[in-house]
Structure 1
Amino acid sequence: MARPCTACAHPRIASLNRDLVAGVTNAEVARRYGLKPDAIRRHADNHLDEEQRREITLALRTERAQAVADALNEGDVEIHRSLKRVVTEIDSLLQRAKADGNDPLALMSLREMRNALMDLAKLTGTLQNELTVNVNLNESPQFIVLRQMILRVLDRHPDAKADFLGEMQRLQIGHG
Structure 2
Amino acid sequence: MGRQCTVCGHKDVEEINKLLLCSDSYRDIARQFGLSKDALARHKESHMPELLLKSQEVKETLQADNLLDQIVYYESEARRFKGLAESQGDLELALKAVDRALKCLDLFAKARGIISDQPQVNILVLPEWIALRTAIIQSLRPYPDALEALRDALR
| TM-score greater than 0.5 by the shorter chain | no
Report the TM-score, using the length of structure 1 for normalisation.
0.40
Q: Which has the larger radius of gyration?
A: 1
Higher relative contact order (Cα pairs below 8 Å, separated by 6+ residues) = 2
